[in-house]
Structure 1
């Protein structure tokens, strides 16, 4: 639905809260205006990935501050990921109806305010609550970022614009461990969240003046709120059950009850998606050649990407190594990912299709994780296999997600992208939970090797899925939507 100029005129009173401010004429009419808009979106891309890779460096400090087990502290990450999984698709549809610039700016405001609240949280429980609010703001950012880039840039500069966004994500992911470790070891864990505040304020001002208004809006499909609730209940109950098994202070029978709730809510979610006229997850797409195996392979990929982000700092902290040194070691993983994700097209053989790249990437993951399983956890020995793991994932995840999106018909590209985002969030959360559970069940130094062995098994499972899935893909769909390669 295209909006006329009269629809975009400045309203009065409370209506101003739902009005998208136009860019100043001085900016809007310039040929480089799209670059300013894309650079503004890169603020969100940078902060989102910085936050994803920085928080795990606070785990040991949080355990010391609040005197709680790792099973409780992990919910600082899990609560954030679960909220993202539940909200990305609904928020995306609301943005299409009410305006992507509007939702993006409100999202940055909410993300920034919640970040400040996280830094001031007096208890772990309140910190987790504020992380949920922060994730709601992050969902408003992530659901709009690609759409804002594609509507701001001219068609002939689309690839360059998406490359700028990917670069922002890669820089944030690569800098996260180092910045997080430095902040924790110098001025304290609270500034891991406080660093978002000045960047958020700058981004809000820039977005207000530099982002274009939304002229094409949908009529607004109905949001499947019961489906959202069932998905949130199923995933939360599953991860809570794993946390109870990992040492969370609840009786053991609660784990069985939560697991039963997760299964029941998951079954109800699948049943509803099969019957709902406008489902969150179109189950028919899972029967499209390569879609379901590709999504499962992606889940395994994100699991093995984020598992070491928890495992390495915890393991090195047991040896008395500080957060800054741990962060420097851990930087090898996201740097390897960023290098491969940005240079794979130039360095890999042109004859390799997405399936060949996926196979090569998963084999690299298996090799890297097997090395970390067999080698002792030493500061000097970790960077090389971590870099290899990052390189392998940087080859695998973009190729895998591209294959998924090419298997989805063009008419369902938005739904396919939402499914990729959901897979990313679930894989990330399961990576944190799997490492925490293994360290609890296998104490001492043996637990570190056991956790790496679990991650290796997940990589092998991902390789098996990729190797066996059908190679055919649907044609004529939105190939440019495969921007889900970043974590």
Structure 2
């Protein structure tokens, strides 16, 4: 992508600080909206007299919409301007959150959550892209680290804040909070994001604006939605419907490649997927996210079944990871700025590999202390990798591609999380030796924990190989 790089003028410190405040709020709100809803599912099941499988769509509608549309809205931002689209996305998110709080039925709540997910897709796709327009290049790593910190804070804050609001004000209050925070982020974006530079408009004079690829958007959205569903439905059981969905994914992906090669203004230029920086980064991002999902899938079972912790203690131990992420994100970004993105990608993967190996070994020897020590090793490695990987990709992207490339980065992360839920959960169940993991013996759960994170360490090793091969090709 170096051939399409361009020089950026360094904005003034005041405008840069204000822009980072608005972008950070957008990242915080989108992460919080995901994590805060999970804790409300039992309450929603009672409120609407619905099954747990039905109320799960309150979470799935949000995630599926983001996954299906995040690349498309990134491309749309490249065409119409990233600032106006981000402001529109924040407005949609806030209105949809308010509609969710007033929803008279579960169906209307799910529809509102899907609209909320569309707003969040805009926010997630464009925040990283706009960093490239508003932050001096030598500070890009710090900005990426800040966004990672805000994402971690939103993830960590959601369950605790949601629990307090549910107990005090009821389930509608969690969506009213989203609406209020979204409105604050909207005002900050309107006030601080520059309207006169590339973040605020589409292609400059003399550049081809292009047409939005509607067919490619619909095709990619359907393909990604089918993949996400194939990984999430069945509650860990992989059956005929899952296989049929994967068949649709394969057909959709092949058709998408053919269609994009023939359209004059494609949603995704196929040459991007052959880029020596972007392609390896997307693959590593997906692998790393798959590994990180294992901590959320396996951790609760190990802490409660193998170590015998109660709900409160399990929640406290699980919060260590997000808290450490929030504390070390900005520092990781500064390290990237000082030592370089390429070297820190490798360093982050080394730390992650060591953390996975520690999770496979230390908890069985030292219990909670071993688990906590391993998480404290794994999580900073993840934050360092994310800051370095995002910086490396966005540093050399031309202005007219930043939105779609940022969307692809976010998509690879989401696909890794979705895949990790299914794949790492299946590895854990296979290692435990029973489909009913909740009723398994403590020793079997401990064995499953060790084997699952041994597999996770192997996936990190694959990511290291990809990083080294990418270095050799440059």
- Could you tell me the TM-score, scaled by structure 1's length? 0.74
Contact 1:224-1:279 within 8 A present in 2 as well: yes
Contact 2:144-2:390 within 8 A present in 1 as well: no
Distance 1:151 1:467, change over 3 A: closer
Q: How does 1:296-307 map to 2 (within 5 A)?
A: 296-307=283-294
1:101-141 residue CA offsets vs partner (Å, 9 max, x unmatched) = 33222211211222233344455544433221111111222
Is 2:87 the partner of 1:111?
no
Is 2:295 the partner of 1:308?
yes
Q: Which residue of 2 aligns with 1:273?
A: 260
Q: Which residue of 1 aligns with 2:174?
A: 192
In 2, the alpha carbon distance for the partners of 1:320 and 1:60 equals: 21
Is 2:362 the partner of 1:367?
no
In 1, the alpha carbon distance for the partners of 2:128 and 2:384 equals: 21
In 2, the alpha carbon distance for the partners of 1:291 and 1:47 equals: 27
Structure 1 vs Structure 2 CA RMSD = 4.2
Q: CA deviation at 1:333?
A: 0.9
**Residue number among 347, 353, 361 corresponding to 1:357 in the alignment:** 347
Q: Which of 1 and 2 has higher RCO (CA within 8 Å, sep 6+)? A: 2
Distance 1:471 1:267, change over 3 A: closer
> Unpaired runs of 5+ in structure 1?
1-29, 476-487
Is 2:110 the partner of 1:128?
yes
Q: Which residue of 1 aligns with 2:330?
A: 342
**Residue number among 427, 431, 449 corresponding to 2:416 in the alignment:** 427
In 1, the alpha carbon distance for the partners of 2:102 and 2:303 equals: 27
In 1, the alpha carbon distance for the partners of 2:417 and 2:272 equals: 23
Q: Which residue of 2 aligns with 1:22?
A: none
1:416-459 residue CA offsets vs partner (Å, 9 max, x unmatched) = 43321220121122233446666693432449654774465244
Q: Which residue of 2 aligns with 1:39?
A: 21
Is 2:376 the partner of 1:387?
yes
In 2, the alpha carbon distance for the partners of 1:127 and 1:230 equals: 26
Is 2:274 the partner of 1:287?
yes
- Could you tell me the TM-score, scaled by structure 2's length? 0.75
Contact 2:68-2:224 within 8 A present in 1 as well: no
Distance 1:325 1:33, change over 3 A: same
Is 2:407 the partner of 1:418?
yes
Is 2:211 the partner of 1:229?
no
Decide which moves more: 150-159 or 228-237.
Answer: 150-159
Is 2:459 the partner of 1:472?
no
Q: Which residue of 1 aligns with 2:5?
A: none
Distance 1:461 1:207, change over 3 A: closer
Q: Count matched residues.
A: 443
In 1, the alpha carbon distance for the partners of 2:109 and 2:365 equals: 36
In 2, the alpha carbon distance for the partners of 1:395 and 1:315 equals: 26
